[in-house]
Structure 1
């Protein structure tokens, strides 16, 4: 006898129950469906179909926040937007493998809480803030609806990169099914669908294309999305899934503008009892003999010695590093690894020189300070090692002790250690 611990609440559940009833009582499939629907609490199977279709699917709310600062316009403005997105799975589960699954449109965000994505940096204007918000929100909906993630398997990446440029394509992103490895391209040019659009090219490359009735990711409402793949079955499935994303999943319309200095604290963050994790902001001032420079919202400041080195000493170190970086790996022992470290030191010291002596470096001096035309390099590894040691000694004299100086010296000493190994071989 068919017994129920819990009445079915889905059509698939009712159909499975109908099969059991049919087997037990030997009745027709139609009568079994009717009886199964009544056991599930409906008048009949048609009533069950209509009621379940109208019932809202279970969804999980995620929040997306973007800040903007527009200081370049005639009327400078700033603010914050936060919107909510309705997903099939919790945000933390959707992004269990990290934000990389969303590709380019999530790379500027961080998971501030299990239900909250927050943009690390500021958008440059109110308009671009809304575009970032749309791109991130629609990407979450796309991943939630399709199960696709940004292309990551080597064979898929090689296949995509191996294609010659798709005619009239723009804003292409690559996606794949994490289970099967089947890949798909999302192309979003500003071109409306027309019959036979690039059909010859697609046929020549064994590809298929569909233009779903969907907003896309890059510029919802303006760019037109096309799905391209080798697999027609995948295209049909993904087209149906994106066209089935309900309008209610994403809150459209005018967003509420909030003050730039305000913070959105999500329900999951409140439930955790832990404070909101503020975005990385630039540091200003001097600390432990170093001074901060650069950086911005979402970008940490860099550091340099608070007390600069004389321009004369920069002018002495610069040509030595320039010569080292023009030295041959075969005769002077400057391998790719050694060159990379020395070149980083050269680049960073040039930055420091301009900040330390903003009004003293003329155009003529600047072209000769750390760079310039190619020069004859050192001729032996021993000469190169001696030159590196000279640079190290000058840096010790030129800068007071601080962390930026120590980091610079570490690169110099690492280059010298690699070169010394070559000499001893």
Structure 2
């Protein structure tokens, strides 16, 4: 473990003041996640100054907090920098976006493109734009994006239940090592699906991470209820039925179901 690392650091970026070459650390963890006392101790121990900005930040503004850190031995005026940062205009978010977006991916044509042949030449050859199908949608509509997820929604409560099952099985004494890696990949993808299914403000910061990663009292109770390998198999079968009822048959769903089925197979072999 790296004991010199800033505790609870997340979404950090490195900056350099062009006027004097001063290194500035920007850290943007989710709100209410960092242990401020632990971070203060770290700053004191390492000779750093760490300040929290009132400006909403760059990474998920209003969900994350922005911290600025410098090495105090440099003599750099952090207070002056904080004044500039806090005076920065509020960042644009989806709710107040005033631009114009289009999913049609129209090709830009120069005014010099006078003929149909000019227009054909202007179009990029081999460029593939993702589009939805009856059963799947792309993660985003950027050219070249190949990741897809099923249409439909498991719902927040469904994801909470799925996360509870996955965390309980992963932590169970009856789960062989190969189960952990497969369910870890499963929950990573399901968390991605969750983030794309919910609207802004429905789950934020710690509540979002709690679904698939943070162990709660309910998670621990669910784990204690799994008293045998048979219990693990049964609860994973329930998870399969849950996913099948929420999403249509498609390649992204089948990939997740294979991870569950392989986990079941490993448990049954060891059992």
TM-score w.r.t. structure 1 length?
0.31
- Higher Cα Rg, which structure: 1
| Structure with bigger RCO (C-alpha 8 Å, 6+ apart) | 2
